[in-house]
């Protein structure tokens, strides 16, 4: 059977779903690998690397002949229509904003697997693209801030005097937040962090950062994820965070609630009270923003503070974001592959959880409701 790797066509997407280094894992399992010309170009993998790794690079029939299609962004409806019934697509598929893609996959009889929906169980850790890409985003956020901050991150004791370390505040200590804390610590900053999940306090401290206690009731929900909070509690949280925000040189926000708009954690007044030259990186800008006024993909000034809104941040480090994502999708593909044949086994909770459409029907219940 054939696994196809497409060239990403959406704006700002520089990643590729398979890197040459991992082609052998698919061919070793008996799959043929076909790559659209230029697929790896933005991630610095020219076509000849794929050929050397055992893939075919072909401009024609890539979609029509594919049994499984690997991509980062979902395929556009017109490309889905070119797939054969029963073909499988593996990609990010944020269902609520991609209902046209869902309809196209359903109508084409395609099995669409969404990597966002892979259950976060231990067996699926190697397929967890949310984690791998959040890791890239958290790292990148600190570099963005460090580059824009008009002062040092580390403490420096010199003959010309002592330079104090930058104060970094990280809000949201999940995968991206913890990576941001670790990266800021490596650069020598003094770091404090906050998360609504009480369990994150220990993780924050284990990285050498201070956990901010706000003395608010816990919001921990099922499965270790945060629950939504009432507006009154959200305001109390913002008010209590404000003094920590205003004393930081760098603020990095990463807070999210799965499937919902990101919570607003920082109001404009708190930004205006920051020291001149402070830098704010809002990694949640695309999902509504943790910081009032942040705009995805834009860098704006609020008073004397620079506010950077993230847009597809993992794609800004396409080499390693692609390498990690490719490992996730290869592991998911191999879960369905035996002796060169791909089988969609819906009795496996990983495949079942990730499956949005199959055999002409929308299986994912929340998406079915959205389609009405
Ligand atoms: P996420 O991207 O959904 O959210 C990021 C962080 O924002 C979370 O830690 C969340 O608690 C926090 N947050 C939400 N609302 C907030 C608010 N109002 N104020 C402050 N913080 C707020 O989460 P994620 O990074 O993908 O993961 C969250 C948790 O899931 C972590 O504990 C992580 O270790 C766990 N996880 C488990 C697995 C697994 O078991 N395979 C995989 C990945 C993550």
Distance 173 CA to ligand 1 centre (A): 7
pLDDT band for 232, please (50, 70, 90 cuts): confident
Prediction pTM value: 0.94
Distance 175 CA to ligand 1 centre (A): 6
pLDDT band for 228, please (50, 70, 90 cuts): low
Distance 257 CA to ligand 1 centre (A): 8
Where do the domains of the chain lie, and which CATH numbers do they carry?
2-127+317-371 (3.40.50.720), 138-311 (3.40.50.720)
Distance 177 CA to ligand 1 centre (A): 9
The reply to whether ipTM tops 0.85 is: yes
Q: Whose CA is nearest to atom 43 of ligand 1?
A: 131
Reply yes or no on whether the pLDDT at 230 is more than 90: no
Instruction: Work out the mean pLDDT of the chain and round it to a whole number.
Output: 95
Alpha helical stretches, state H, the chain: 23-27, 47-52, 77-80, 99-108, 129-148, 175-186, 200-206, 231-246, 268-272, 318-335, 349-354, 365-371
Residue pair 357/103 in contact (Cβ under 8 Å)? The answer is no
Q: Whose CA is nearest to atom 7 of ligand 1?
A: 255
The pLDDT tens digits of the residues spanning 118-157 come to 999 999 999 999 999 999 999 999 999 999 999 999 999 9
Pairing outcome for strands 190-194 and 210-211: parallel
Distance 200 CA to ligand 1 centre (A): 9
pLDDT band for 216, please (50, 70, 90 cuts): confident
pLDDT, position 65: 94
pLDDT, position 225: 62
Distance 295 CA to ligand 1 centre (A): 22
Identify the helix (H) or strand (E) that includes residue 71. none
Residue pair 205/171 in contact (Cβ under 8 Å)? The answer is no
Best residue among 256, 259, 265, 282 to mutate for probing ligand 1's pocket (most ligand atoms within 8 Å of CB) is: 256
Distance 55 CA to ligand 1 centre (A): 37
Residues 6+ apart with CB under 8 A from 20: 40, 45, 49, 50, 52, 53, 55
| 311: nearest Cα among 340, 286, 275, 339 | 286
Distance 99 CA to ligand 1 centre (A): 26
Pairing outcome for strands 161-163 and 156-158: antiparallel
Identify the helix (H) or strand (E) that includes residue 162. strand 161-163
Distance 336 CA to ligand 1 centre (A): 28
End-to-end alpha-carbon separation of the chain, Å?
35
Q: Whose CA is nearest to atom 31 of ligand 1?
A: 174
Nearest ligand 1 atom, CA 220 = 11
3-class DSSP assignment, residue 174: coil
Q: How far apart are CA 70 and CA 47, in angstroms?
A: 16
The rounded percent of the chain whose pLDDT value lies above 90 is 88
Residue of higher predicted confidence among 202 and 256:
202
Q: Whose CA is nearest to atom 36 of ligand 1?
A: 120
Residues at CB less than 6 angstroms from ligand 1: 120, 125, 128, 130-131, 134, 171-177, 194-197, 200, 224, 226, 254-258, 263, 265
Best residue among 211, 226, 253 to mutate for probing ligand 1's pocket (most ligand atoms within 8 Å of CB) is: 226
Length of the chain: 372
pLDDT band for 108, please (50, 70, 90 cuts): very high
The pLDDT tens digits of the residues spanning 263-290 come to 999 999 999 999 999 999 999 999 999 9
pLDDT band for 114, please (50, 70, 90 cuts): very high
Nearest ligand 1 atom, CA 234 = 18
Residues 6+ apart with CB under 8 A from 161: none
């Amino acid at each position: 059977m054939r696994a196809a790797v497409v060239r990403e066509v959406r704006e700002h997407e520089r990643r590729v779903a398979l890197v040459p280094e991992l082609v052998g894992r698919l061919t070793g399992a008996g799959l043929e690998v076909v790559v659209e010309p230029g697929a790896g170009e933005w991630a610095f993998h020219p076509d000849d690397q794929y050929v050397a790794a055992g893939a075919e690079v072909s401009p024609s029939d890539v979609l029509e002949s594919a049994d499984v299609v690997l991509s980062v962004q979902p395929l556009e409806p017109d490309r889905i229509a070119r797939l054969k019934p029963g073909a499988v697509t593996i990609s990010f598929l944020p269902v609520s904003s991609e209902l046209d893609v869902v309809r196209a996959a359903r109508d084409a009889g395609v099995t669409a697997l969404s990597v966002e929906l892979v259950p976060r169980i231990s067996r699926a850790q190697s397929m967890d693209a949310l984690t791998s890409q959040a890791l890239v985003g958290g790292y990148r956020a600190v570099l963005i801030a460090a580059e824009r901050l008009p002062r040092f991150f580390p403490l420096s004791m010199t003959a010309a005097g002592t330079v104090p370390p930058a104060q970094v505040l990280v809000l949201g200590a999940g995968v991206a937040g913890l990576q941001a804390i670790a990266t800021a610590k490596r650069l020598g900053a003094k770091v404090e962090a906050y998360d609504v999940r009480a369990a994150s306090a220990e993780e924050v401290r284990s990285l050498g950062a201070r956990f901010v206690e706000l003395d608010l009731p816990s919001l921990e929900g099922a499965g270790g994820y945060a629950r939504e909070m009432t507006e009154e509690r959200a305001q109390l949280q913002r008010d209590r965070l404000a003094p920590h925000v205003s004393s930081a040189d760098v603020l990095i926000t990463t807070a999210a609630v799965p499937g919902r708009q990101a919570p607003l954690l920082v109001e404009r007044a708190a930004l205006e009270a920051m020291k001149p030259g402070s830098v704010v990186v809002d990694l949640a800008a695309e999902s509504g923003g943790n910081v009032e006024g942040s705009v995805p993909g834009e860098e704006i000034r609020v008073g004397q503070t620079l506010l950077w809104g993230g847009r597809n941040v993992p794609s800004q480090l396409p080499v390693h974001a692609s390498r990690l994502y490719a490992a996730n999708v290869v592991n998911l593909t191999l879960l369905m592959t035996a002796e060169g044949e791909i089988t969609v086994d819906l009795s496996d909770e990983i495949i079942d959880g990730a499956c949005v459409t199959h055999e002409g029907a929308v299986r994912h219940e929340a998406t079915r409701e959205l389609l009405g």
